[in-house]
């Protein structure tokens, strides 16, 4: 992969560069603020950008605003927000452009290097990678009708879908069969009135239905 990193903490930035280089990925640029991130993405056209939320000069939402601009102006570039902050409004705003090529991981909850790089590869390939804590908070703060129609198991399946899990991955996590997962997914689509369509990805639409606050 070709990666751009935006992280103002020098030690974290250098650590990410080394981690990705050791696994054969190319870090095109590593910057410390949102404006430099936008310049780097425009110049290099990376497969994915790793973005912290709070960066100079105000350390509030510079990274978020840059990430939203990237999703609007450079749709071929995936965005993985890598932050220590759980801010549902941030994820919801990022998801307004669709769940594809988007991730949100929490720095202190990434258990190992493989978990991080797997998520990065998934986002670059067009998938979604959301930390379970982020998903749970978004589901709890969601206000869209229809959530109450889902069973507890359907909510669990939907939460795992939002993390970017496949049906096989959901089955393994919940210790149920893949066939059972397929039935639950079909039930979710029915209750959310998401009929089959060649032009729409129903999994993404189902996730967005709840992740938008």
pLDDT digits (tens, 9 = 90+) for 43-70: 999 999 999 988 888 887 888 889 989 9
- Assign 94 a pLDDT band (cuts: 50, 70, 90): confident
Three-state secondary structure call for residue 77: coil
Tokens of 194: 């998401």
- Assign 206 a pLDDT band (cuts: 50, 70, 90): confident
- Assign 3 a pLDDT band (cuts: 50, 70, 90): very high
Higher pLDDT, 37 or 60: 37
pLDDT digits (tens, 9 = 90+) for 151-188: 888 888 988 888 888 999 999 999 999 999 999 998 88
DSSP 108-151: GG--SHHHHHHHHHHHHTT-EEE-HHHHHHHHHH---TTGGGS-
Does residue 108 come out as left (phi exceeding 0), alpha (psi in the -120 to 50 range) or beta? alpha
pLDDT in the model for residue 143 = 45
pLDDT in the model for residue 159 = 86
pLDDT in the model for residue 145 = 45
pLDDT digits (tens, 9 = 90+) for 96-139: 767 789 999 998 888 788 889 999 999 999 988 888 887 777 66
Query: From residue 49, how far is each of 45, 55, 129, 180 by CA, in Å?
Result: 10, 15, 13, 36
| Range picked from 117-121, 190-194, 200-204 for highest mean pLDDT | 117-121
């Amino acid at each position: 992969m070709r990666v751009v990193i935006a992280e103002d903490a020098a030690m974290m930035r250098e650590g990410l560069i080394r981690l990705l280089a050791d696994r054969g990925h190319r870090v095109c640029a590593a910057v410390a603020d949102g404006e430099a991130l936008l310049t780097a993405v425009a110049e290099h056209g990376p497969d994915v950008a790793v973005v912290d939320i709070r960066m100079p000069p105000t350390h509030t939402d510079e990274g978020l605003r840059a990430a939203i601009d990237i999703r609007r102006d450079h749709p071929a570039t995936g965005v993985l927000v890598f932050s220590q902050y759980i801010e549902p409004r941030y994820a919801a705003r990022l998801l307004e452009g669709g769940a594809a090529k988007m991730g949100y991981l929490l720095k202190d909850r990434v258990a190992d290097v493989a978990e991080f790089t797997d998520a990065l590869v998934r986002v670059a390939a067009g998938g979604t990678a959301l930390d379970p804590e982020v998903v749970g908070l978004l589901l709890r703060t969601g206000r869209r009708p229809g959530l109450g129609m889902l069973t507890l198991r359907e909510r669990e399946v939907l939460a795992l879908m939002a993390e970017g899990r496949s049906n096989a991955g959901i089955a393994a996590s919940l210790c149920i069969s893949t066939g059972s997962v397929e039935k639950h997914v079909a039930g979710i689509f029915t209750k959310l009135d998401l009929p089959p369509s060649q032009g729409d990805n129903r999994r993404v639409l189902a996730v967005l239905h709840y992740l938008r606050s």
